[in-house]
Each structure stands twice: as C-alpha cells, then as structure tokens.
Structure 1
C-alpha cells in the first residue's frame, strides 16, 4: 500500500520564529502559522475557519527564517506532518502534538501577497530549500 505525507500551507506567522541549535550546532527554527479557509454556508453566509499549526525548519533555511520572518508575516510552507512526543518535566505526563516539518519555506510579500523572489542575501528561503538546505536531520535528533 502506498502512503503519502505532504502538507502545503499558506498563512501568517502567529509568533516570531524561535531559533535554536542542536548539540552538534545544526540550526532549528520553530514558528506558528495560521492558515485561513474562507467558505460560504448553505445559506450563503461567509465564514472563515483558521487552522493553527507549528512549523519546524532545519539548517540554513532555519537561519533565514529566524532573520527575516516576524509575527504577522505571510509565508508558504511545504513539508510533511510529524508527531512529536515528550514527557512534561513539570507534571510528568506524556504529551504529544502534530507539527509540520518544513522542506521549504517561501517568504511572501506583505503588500501584494506574492512570493518574494530574493532576500537580502540574494536567495529566498524557497531557493535555499530547493538547493538542499531545507532537509533536516532525522526525527531522532533533539534541540538543545
């Protein structure tokens, strides 16, 4: 049986990226993203549903996200769904959450809503991801 784990979201950051490093120095950024879905009810009333998701980015792309993205910034994320499990140090309870492990993050323009083609260093995070910076280490590595 074939399986597929692919997620593509466009939305706005709900908080600034938190940039950390693994014990071996690999950069990891985590940020929240709000993706809106607009629809109409059967009665014709306009509605909006918002999905809030955490996004994890590795490598050079994580550094770029930490430098150039801020709360409220629009972004496109292409990645896969991952389950994260841990034990709460305060309560001792087992916790879990779903997050998107990004293979590619594209910065979008705030004014026009289009893709930003180049960042201050000449590459968008999307270009970095296509060149291989977006691939992170395996899920067994933890952030310091």
Structure 2
C-alpha cells in the first residue's frame, strides 16, 4: 500500500530527447521533459487544450532503456513517484523542482510494455 501513497502516472509526449549521463560510480541517469495535454470545453463551448510540462528522471537500467528507445515527440506512459530536488539560486535562495522518478514506462505508439 506504500506505493499508493506517492504514485504518479502520466501519459504524454517527450519535449526533447532524453539527456543520459553515466557517472564515475557506474550509475546512469536519464532526464527529459514530458508534456501532458488536457482537452476540455470552456464556458463559451470553445475547445481548449491545456498543456502541462513535467520533469522526468530515471536511474539505472530504466535510464539506459529510455536513452535508447525514446526520442522527442514520442508518446509514453510513465509511472513513478513525485520528488522535489532542491538547489540554491545565484542569490542564495532555496529553490525546489518537482520531478517524477520513473519506476516503469510503456511506449504508447507500439503498445509494448518495457520491463526493467
């Protein structure tokens, strides 16, 4: 039940190719932005598309797979947990960036699920 406490599922399109980094300790990191669209009708009956951008992060084997399988524009479903990365800006203020750390993903164009 702990997975339900902090669980995120998104389906969207990559805003850019994943940025993959290999660290000296052998760990692999992949980062990319994901756009999700919500389509609805406003009070005038006009069709409106609202786009939200999400920062996505993956580690290890998942990061390696993302780097080889995903490209800008591809539709993908991701599941993971919401985290907040912190840093200090130039003025010394603490800033927080929400990120979804992927636990699993599926390519939507092929319908195949990729196992980690």
Aligned partner of 1:35 in structure 2 is 36
The separation in 1 between residues aligned to 2:93 and 2:24, in whole angstroms, is: 25
The separation in 2 between residues aligned to 1:97 and 1:83, in whole angstroms, is: 5
Structure 2: stretches of 5+ with no match in the other structure? none
Q: TM-score, normalized by length of structure 1? A: 0.71
For the aligned residue pairs, the C-alpha RMSD in angstroms reads 1.9
Q: Assess, with a 3 A threshold, how the Cα gap between structure 1 residues 60 and 86 changes in structure 2: closer, same or farther.
A: same
Residue 55 of structure 1: CA displacement?
0.3
Residue 26 in structure 1 maps to residue 27 in structure 2: yes
Residue 91 of structure 1: CA displacement?
4.6
Q: Which structure is higher in strand share?
A: 2
Aligned partner of 2:76 in structure 1 is 75
Aligned partner of 2:106 in structure 1 is 106
Aligned partner of 1:134 in structure 2 is none
Query: Which residues of 2 match residues 48-87 of structure 1 at below 5 A?
Result: 48-87=49-88
Q: TM-score, normalized by length of structure 2? A: 0.87
Structure 1: stretches of 5+ with no match in the other structure? 118-123, 129-144
SS across alignment from 1:15: coil
Q: Assess, with a 3 A threshold, how the Cα gap between structure 1 residues 93 and 51 changes in structure 2: closer, same or farther.
A: same
- Superposition misfits of 4+ residues, deviation over 3 angstroms: 90-93
